Amino acid sequence: QLQLQESGPGLVKASETLSLTCTVSGGSISSNSDYWGWIRQTPGKGLEWIGTIYYSGSTYYNPSLKSRVTISVDTSQNQFSLKLSSVTAADTAVYYCARHLGGNYYNAFDIWGQGTMVTVSS
Amino acid sequence: EIVLTQSPGTLSLSPGERATLSCRASQSVSSSYLAWYQQKPGQAPRLLIYGASSRATGIPDRFSGSGSGTDFTLTISRLEPEDFAVYYCQQYGGSPRTFGQGTKVEIK
């Protein structure tokens, strides 16, 4: 059974870079030519798609965050990662990693990590 | 960007009742690329419906989705105690992918 687990610092200072990793277990990150995404959730803005990466490394970003976001994949570690630069208090959120259903970018997210809370401090 | 507006904001119902949740898009959602998720406190969203009307694996048949274009509906035919939660719609036909603001289904 495929599982995803987010990890990374729970506290990041304003203007610095937020870095999170999603570890995939119970299967290979590249076995089904899957697409993997990052989504965040705040009380104010709700759920927000950050971006998606194909197992081969192609990326798709939310235009509103594109200038600050980098998503990468490490197939040898069965992980993919999120970096968000120049963070502000508005980036305080629960960050989720998730898989696109059916190995298709044009599909919903069927498997989600449990989420990790990241707070940006001044 | 496609804006999704969910209504009502809160639905107060009793177990056994029928719940009808609406999701309206600011522009047509291509190929009915519309999903519904359920979220309980402290948990990640759980996929219920994709492609506007296809149930995800393991989802009970009391959950059904319908609609096309700009108007979509999630129906829960008979509410079970575990169905009281927040429900979100999401479109994945346009970029960026966007979510609705959610409908809370609470016990009356």
Q: What is the pLDDT of residues A2-12, one digit of tens each?
A: 999 999 999 99
Q: Which of B47, B100, B101 sits opposite A108 (nearest CB)?
A: B47
State both tokens at A52: 């998606």
| Cβ-based contacts of B90 with chain A (< 8 Å) | 47, 108-109
- How far from B45 is each of A12, A56, B71, CA to CA, in Å? 25, 26, 22
Residue B17, SS3 per DSSP: coil
pLDDT at position A43 is: 84
Q: Do B99 and A46 touch (CB under 8 A)?
A: yes
Query: What is residue B56's DSSP assignment?
Result: P
CA torsion through residues B90, A112, A37, A12, sign: positive
pLDDT in single tens digits along all 108 residues of chain B:
999 999 999 999 999 999 999 999 999 998 889 999 999 999 999 999 999 999 999 999 999 999 999 999 999 999 999 999 999 999 999 999 999 999 999 999
pLDDT in tens, A73-104: 999 999 999 999 999 999 999 999 999 998 89
The CA distance from A9 to A20, in Å, is 7
Compute the nearest-CA separation of A100 from chain B (Å): 10
Interface test with B, best of A45, A111, A112 (most B CBs within 10 A): A112
For residues B101 and B6, the answer to whether their CB atoms sit within 8 Å is: yes
CB atoms within 10 A of CB B93: 16
For residue A39 the two structure tokens come to 């989504």
Rounded Cα–Cα distance for residues B3 and A48 (Å) = 12
Q: What CA–CA distance (Å, rounded) separates A47 from A90?
A: 13
Q: What is the pLDDT of residues A26-72, one digit of tens each?
A: 999 987 789 999 999 998 889 999 999 999 999 999 999 999 999 99
Secondary structure of A59-117 in HEC code, one letter for each residue: EEECCCCCCCEEEEEECCCCEEEEEECCCCHHHCEEEEEEEEHHHCCCCCEEEECCCEE
SS3 label, residue B96: coil
Give dist(CA B47, CA B56) in Å, integer: 6
